[in-house]
Amino acid sequence: MPHHETNLQFSTEERETLYRIIRARRDMRHFVGGEVTPEVLTRILEAAHAAPSVGLMQPWRFIRITKQTLRDDLVVLVEAEKDKTAQALNARQAEFMRLKVEGLRDCAELIVVVLAPDDGTIFGRRTMPEAMALASVSCAIENMWLAARVENLGMGWVSFFEPDDVAALLQCPEGAKPIALLCLGPVKAFYDKPMLEQEDWRQGKTLTAILSEDEYPS
Amino acid sequence: MPHHETNLQFSTEERETLYRIIRARRDMRHFVGGEVTPEVLTRILEAAHAAPSVGLMQPWRFIRITKQTLRDDLVVLVEAEKDKTAQALNARQAEFMRLKVEGLRDCAELIVVVLAPDDGTIFGRRTMPEAMALASVSCAIENMWLAARVENLGMGWVSFFEPDDVAALLQCPEGAKPIALLCLGPVKAFYDKPMLEQEDWRQGKTLTAILSEDEYPS
């Protein structure tokens, strides 16, 4: 990358663009089929791959699901976990079952994100080895989320699954951990606010509730 | 948030702006003191707080370090961990010690990010409870990183510490886990490429190495 691009100074307008993208990003579960062109998909994956990683591990692996049979198998795994979650929720079980919590059938692209097996990196993760690798993969996914939004596409992170079952289905090596089924594609509309707020499942916190000086927020 | 902002269509120019920001973001360890104004700091923290989170947990907590004595105490903890890392690296110990791996003394702002104690959320994390909470906090940190860059400030994620020691220092409750010491502030210049590549510590992978269809990348 040329030096001038790395060191460019961003303008007030560019700053406001980023903040608009960040505010407009949503965890989407409602998709309308359609397609994501190879050029757009590559741009989104390149954004992911430009993420920071502890010790430059780049521990993210992306598996694009192209076979309908594999997508069907993943739907079965997600449905099974949704049932278990509903049972675990006890009193809120019926309310949960009314929510749409994933868009696996309707999204244009389904991408499984896997945390690679530990490569032995010590730099920056001696005390928190798995946490720091997972944190790196999550930063990559957030880059993808913002990239999808600026491409006017929705993305949703589905975590309703048993990682070992997904690992077996996709022939992952020992130690690899699927962490996300990413639904990606055109949507009819983005939610005005987080879907769980919109559906009165839960309300978000204010910034002051999670921020403090010199000690843990009270 | 008004509906028109959530559902706005982004232009090609805005798209290119986001990708420029993503490409120009660096994990910085070289800072030049100075300051971050309250307005800028608030914008960066609001970007963090706009991140997605599993089950709308928002499990991130931000502690702004204002006392020099606390910053000094954190430096001592980081130095101790750097020594332990150097020992664990064996043959690369001397090479490691020549790298600048943190900017705690020189950054304008030091912000500790803590994963809050488990609040019992089941939605979306029955099978991966700690991983999904940590992933959410990491998404918030990536938002901060991009926000810092577009504000023309550097940010670095320091993970050289024992989480329990940092938790004790900042009076964190049982179950809270510090995951990042974020150095934030003006820099003289951004690295042309990841510092670990620039210093020949390690080279990054190509996109094709981490991407495949229907099965784990070979």
Rg (CA), chain A: 19
> What's residue A14's pLDDT?
98
Would you give the end-to-end CA distance of chain B in angstroms?
A: 45
pLDDT in tens, A69-82: 999 999 999 999 99
* Beta carbons within 10 angstroms of residue A120's beta carbon: 8
pLDDT in tens, B180-206: 999 999 999 999 999 999 999 999 999
- CA A129 to centroid of chain Cα atoms: 21
Domain that holds residue A65: 28-188
**Scanning every residue of chain A, which has its alpha carbon at the shortest distance from the alpha carbon of B153?**
A9
Q: Decide if B139 and A150 are in contact by the 8 Å CB cutoff.
A: no
Beta bridge partners of B110: B65, B183
DSSP state of A27: B
Return d(Cα B165, Cα A45) in angstroms, integer: 37
Q: Does B175 touch chain A (CB under 8 A)?
A: no
pLDDT in tens, B86-107: 999 999 999 999 999 999 999 9
All residues of chain A having their beta carbon less than 8 Å from the beta carbon of residue B136 are 138
Does B2 have pLDDT greater than 70? no
> What's residue A40's pLDDT?
98
Quote the mean pLDDT of chain A. 96
DSSP state of A208: G
All residues of chain B having their beta carbon less than 8 Å from the beta carbon of residue A192 are 1, 3, 6
Q: Is residue A55 part of a domain?
A: yes
Q: Is residue B67 part of a domain?
A: yes
Residues 6+ positions from A108 with CB-CB distance below 8 Å = A31, A33, A34, A35, A36, A153, A184, A185, A186
Q: Is residue B3 part of a domain?
A: no
Burial class (CB in 10 A: 0-12, 13-18, 19+), B91: exposed
**Predicted confidence band at A2 (pLDDT cuts at 50, 70, 90)?**
very low
Least confident of A88-92, A138-142, B179-183: A88-92
Residue B148 structure tokens: 């810092």
> What's residue A1's pLDDT?
44
Q: Does A211 touch chain B (CB under 8 A)?
A: yes
Q: Is residue A18 part of a domain?
A: no
> What's residue A4's pLDDT?
58
pLDDT in tens, B119-136: 999 999 999 999 999 999
DSSP-derived pairing of the beta strands A60-65 and B109-115: unpaired
pLDDT in tens, A146-193: 999 999 999 999 999 999 999 999 999 999 999 999 999 999 999 999
Q: Decide if A125 and B159 are in contact by the 8 Å CB cutoff.
A: yes
SS3 B28: coil
**Predicted confidence band at B5 (pLDDT cuts at 50, 70, 90)?**
confident
> What's residue A6's pLDDT?
80
Q: Is residue B195 part of a domain?
A: no
Quick check: A141 and A182 in contact, CB under 8 A? yes
Question: How close, in Å, is residue A100 to chain B by CA atoms?
Answer: 12
Quick check: A63 and A170 in contact, CB under 8 A? yes
Residue A182's nearest CA partner among A214, A216, A137 is A137
Residue A96's nearest CA partner among A206, A195, A28 is A195
To the nearest 10°, the Cα dihedral for B122, A147, A117, B51?
-30
> What's residue B7's pLDDT?
85
When CB atoms are compared, the residue of A49, A142, A196 closest to B142 is: A142
Question: How close, in Å, is residue A177 to chain B by CA atoms?
Answer: 11
Q: Tokens 């030049």, residue?
A: B32
Backbone angles phi, psi at B17, to 5 degrees: -60, -50
Q: Is residue B80 part of a domain?
A: yes
Residue A133's nearest CA partner among B215, B134, B23 is B134
Decide if the complex's ipTM is over 0.95: yes
Work out the average pLDDT over A136-143: 98
Q: Decide if A217 and B63 are in contact by the 8 Å CB cutoff.
A: yes
> What's residue B1's pLDDT?
44
Question: How close, in Å, is residue A107 to chain B by CA atoms?
Answer: 16
| CATH number where B53 lies | 3.40.109.10
Q: Decide if A15 and B151 are in contact by the 8 Å CB cutoff.
A: yes
Residue B175's nearest CA partner among B122, B121, B116 is B116
Q: Decide if A207 and B84 are in contact by the 8 Å CB cutoff.
A: no
As for how many domains chain B has, the answer is: 1
> What's residue B6's pLDDT?
80
Q: Is residue B6 part of a domain?
A: no
Q: Is residue B11 part of a domain?
A: no
Does B178 have pLDDT greater than 70? yes
